Chains A and B, each alone.
Chain A
Amino acid sequence: DIVLTQSPGTLSASPDQSVTLSCRASQTVNANYLAWYQHRPGQSPRLLIYEASTRAIGIPERFSGSGSGTDFTLTISRLEPEDFAMYYCQQYGSSPRTFGQGTKIDVK
């Protein structure tokens, strides 16, 4: 199974700050089949990025994904108040599909 390790576990940031979240895979993610989700408290998760760098419909341009192989990043430019949430990566290049353990962005 591919293990996804996200870092940091918690990131403290201020509004308007730009942040970068990391997702490292234990093996190569085939075809860069990696997605990112946002999960706000009390809400359902929301797809942000798929295929490592393609924004989902309706996702603001301040969210961008990059990476390949085993190392992937999600960058959020200029944090908005609604961006303080949990973020998960998920690989779908191999079975079983797996999620990372998540990164929490909280207010500094």
Chain B
Amino acid sequence: EVQLVQSGAEVKKPGESLKISCKASGYIFTDDWIGWVRQMPGRGLEWMGIVYPGDSDTRYGPSFQGQVTISADKSTNTAYLQWTSLKASDTAIYYCARNIGTNFFNAWGQGTRVTVSS
């Protein structure tokens, strides 16, 4: 059974850095892309980007290029989403999801709630 287990909720201040994680199991981690989707409060889903753990090839949505870093560690089957300087507008739920061939997401993590407030 494919499982994606995300790290817990975070409360941070503007300007702080953050790295959240997503540990995958139940499939060959290096065979499929894995990505991140944002849901801001009261809003819909936004495609942030994906990474291929086999060679770390990464694709970003235009709104997220340069704003976040997506990475993966194939030694621990874990994907990451990180910020160097958080803003209040980064407050959202972030979902990791297994992405089939850079296409659709067929398995999702439980979500990580990130709150950025002074």
| Residues on A facing B (Cβ under 8 Å) | 1, 33, 35, 37, 39, 44-47, 50, 56, 86, 88, 90, 92, 95-102
Quick one: closest B residue to A47, CB to CB? Answer: B106
Q: How far is the CA of A32 from the CA of B85 in the complex (A)?
A: 38
Taking CB atoms and an 8 Å cut-off, the chain B residues in 42-88 that contact chain A are 44-47, 59, 61-62
Total residues of chain B contacting the partner, CB 8 A = 21
- Point out which of A44, A90, A100 has the most chain B C-beta atoms below 10 A from its C-beta: A44
| Residues on B facing A (Cβ under 8 Å) | 37, 44-47, 59, 61-62, 95, 97, 100, 102-111
The prevalent SS among residues of B at the interface is strand
For A98, the chain B residues whose CB sits under 8 A away are 47
Among B45, B102, B106, the residue within 8 A (CB) of A102 is B45
For A88, the chain B residues whose CB sits under 8 A away are 44-45
